[in-house]
Amino acid sequence: MKLLIKGGRIINPADNMDTVGDILIEDGRIAEIGQNLAIDGAEILDAAGLVVTPGFVDMHVHLREPGLEAKEDIASGTRAAAAGGFTTVACMPNTKPVVDNSILVSGLIQRGQTEGVVNLKIIGALSKGLEGKELAEIGDMIQAGVVAISDDGGHLDSTRLLKTGLEYTGMFGRPVITHSEDEELASEGFMHEGEVSAMLGLKGRPSVAEDIAVAKDIMLAEYTNSPIHIAHVSSKGAVELIRQAKQRGVKVTAEVTPHHLTLTDDELKTFNTAFKVNPPLRSADHVEALVAGLKDGTLDAIATDHAPHAFEEKDVEFRYAPSGFAGLETALGVVLTGLYHTGKLTLLEVIEKMSYRPAKILGLESGVLKVGAPADITIIDTEYQWTVDCIKFYTRGKHSPFEGRNLRGKSLITIVNGSIIMQNGEVLK
Ligand SMILES: NC(=O)N[C@@H](CC(=O)O)C(=O)O
């Protein structure tokens, strides 16, 4: 089967390519990139006026399988990914049971192949049951194919366990991904600690809880000389700590979410649970530092932290609602509207942080447009205007902090391993 994408603006961050041209796909891989390609028998996809990019890679999603399928499962979550322009997602192990052994990992990889419509990568737990007491079967899970190890959902407060986990995971060249928020300071809070939390009378999760945890986690990575990846960075202190660590040569990478880059704690004034998330939405000074950190490369990747919950779980009083919300279907629109159309990031930078960088961090072959690479491609319209309507989401998580917002920019076509799986917003499988 041959597919020819014609006349699109091809942006490939790996080699700073930004040119109008054609891409030929054959047998699931990129066969040729060039001008005016004419191939007999190829299906033609007209991309004139559109941007052709490496398929997006979301290195931080919660697909809730196994055990929490009322919130999401691999079928619904990977369809949401396809709708959002993602061709690969890596799912976190905070499921029921926790993904902390190779049997579960192999099962999920298999489910990904039968139920998933995009490439599914698995992240295994660092501690058994996410309890922070004993190491999970890290070596076995890496052999079974996990791309990283993480106790995401909470901070691994045990320095001893994190040190051993880093040493062990580092031996395999894989990163430990940390949810860096000091539990003792943060766990009783509902939102960012600051003026707004004082006004609302809600206990806060102070930014220093994140700073302390990031400092500690980076020190352990530096000591063990092992790769660490800081998930969903949200505080300006954390950005500065990561910046300094990179200058010292620590093997640290970091991600930031579309919501932390564009929303502040002001939104919480409505007590709308769609804005409740960990780490919390912070004040404008933090948001500014995150955008600056993304721009200067301190923060490597944009990841959604797609964390869907069942409608009725979120539809309760603020205090009782679980943290997290759907992110896969709004990510590109939010980032283009908030960062690209405002001139804060170039289009190449946006694409780099949504495809090339996260693929590199996870050691994937994708994230690039080059001959021989898997044909994972996203075609986007940067000018497409649309309004977020959660009811239309493919994800089961029908809460989004962007509900009702007008966004500019959308992925129109998602191609996974050479097959078109989403076209004009509709997932075809
Ligand atoms: N990000 C969130 O607010 N929620 C995540 C877990 C977490 O990282 O707290 C979830 O799994 O629901």
Q: Which domains does the chain have, with CATH numbers?
A: 56-361 (3.20.20.140)
Atom nearest to 94 CA in ligand 1 = 11
| CA–CA gap between residue 15 and residue 13 (Å, rounded) | 5
- Please list the ranges in the chain whose pLDDT falls under 50: none
| CA–CA gap between residue 111 and residue 221 (Å, rounded) | 33
Per-residue confidence (pLDDT) for residue 286, from 0 to 100: 98
Cα 306 to middle of ligand 1, angstroms: 8
Neighbouring residues of 171: CB distance < 8 A, sequence distance ≥ 6: none
| C-alpha neighbours within 13 Å on the C-beta side of residue 195 | 6
Cα 371 to middle of ligand 1, angstroms: 38
The closest residue, in CA terms, to atom 7 on ligand 1 is: 153
Cβ 323 under 6 angstroms from ligand 1: yes
| CA–CA gap between residue 97 and residue 419 (Å, rounded) | 33
- Count of CB atoms situated within 10 Å of the CB of 417: 17
Cα 30 to middle of ligand 1, angstroms: 36
Q: Contact at 8 Å (CB) between 413 and 403?
A: no
Q: Contact at 8 Å (CB) between 165 and 135?
A: yes
Nearest partner of 58 among 397, 386, 330, judged by Cα: 330
Per-residue confidence (pLDDT) for residue 326, from 0 to 100: 98
Per-residue confidence (pLDDT) for residue 1, from 0 to 100: 84
Cα 257 to middle of ligand 1, angstroms: 12
Q: Contact at 8 Å (CB) between 39 and 381?
A: no
Atom nearest to 231 CA in ligand 1 = 8
Cβ 277 under 6 angstroms from ligand 1: yes
Residue 140: active-site member:
no
Which residues contribute to the annotated binding site? 60, 62-64, 94, 152, 179, 232, 278, 305, 309
The closest residue, in CA terms, to atom 8 on ligand 1 is: 153
The closest residue, in CA terms, to atom 9 on ligand 1 is: 153
Per-residue confidence (pLDDT) for residue 393, from 0 to 100: 98
Pocket test for ligand 1, best of 62, 123, 156 (most atoms within 8 A of CB): 62
Atom nearest to 277 CA in ligand 1 = 3
**Tokens linked to 63:** 């697909």
**Tokens linked to 342:** 């405002």
**Tokens linked to 199:** 């006004």
The complex's ipTM works out to 0.95
Give, as one character, the DSSP assignment of residue 153. Answer: T
Per-residue confidence (pLDDT) for residue 157, from 0 to 100: 87
* Catalytic option among 100, 151, 182, 305: 305
Q: What is the mean pLDDT of the chain?
A: 97
- Distances in whole angstroms, Cα of residue 322 to Cα of each of 21, 317, 319, 425: 46, 10, 8, 29
61-83 pLDDT, tens digit each: 999 999 999 999 999 999 999 99
pTM for the structure as a whole: 0.98
